[in-house]
Amino acid sequence: MQHLAFKFVKIHPKAIVPEKIKGNLGFDLSVVRDENFYEHNYPGQRNDWRYILEPGQRRVFHTGLKMAIPGGYGVVFWDRSGLSVKQGLTKMAGCIDSTYRGEWLVCLHNTSTVEYEIIEGDRIIQAIVIPEFSITFKECKELDDTFRGEKGIGSSGR
């Protein structure tokens, strides 16, 4: 297994540094408070920052981290299975290049019919490191044949 070192800067005091666990493909990123979002504080509960993601709503959330991805690699965001399957939360976009040095932001979309409460510190997405490839595009008159050919969406069956 190859080892990579990600340099990082915490730009928010409550940012949680991710941990890559051996055997897991990705690592989880957590949300931090964003002063521009409405806060929900409930009587008798801790004074945590919370945000309600309404049904059908999408919102960009902050991680409070900037990271330097080593050259030759990139990071893609992937849904956390529990949030996706059980709560209907899915990612929108999410590809970070090794040349990017800004805060890592996560756009979530609530596809369910019920609101979902996100609390500061919640793990909201998993990040997966992928290799970068050198690609050359070559124009040609036609492409080679395959068993599928030009059959499109849904053509491979159930």
pLDDT of residue 36: 62
pLDDT value at 101 more than 80: yes
Q: Which domains does the chain have, with CATH numbers?
A: 7-131 (2.70.40.10)
pLDDT of residue 37: 53
Which of the pair, 34 or 124, is modelled with greater confidence?
Answer: 124
CA 18 to chain centre: 13
pLDDT value at 44 more than 60: no
Each residue of 125-150: pLDDT tens digit? 999 999 999 999 999 999 999 888 88
Mean pLDDT of 30-56: 71
Tell me what percent of the residues of the chain surpass a pLDDT of 90: 75
Mean residue pLDDT of the chain comes to 89
**What's the pTM?**
0.84
Residues 63 and 18: their CA atoms lie apart, in Å, by: 10
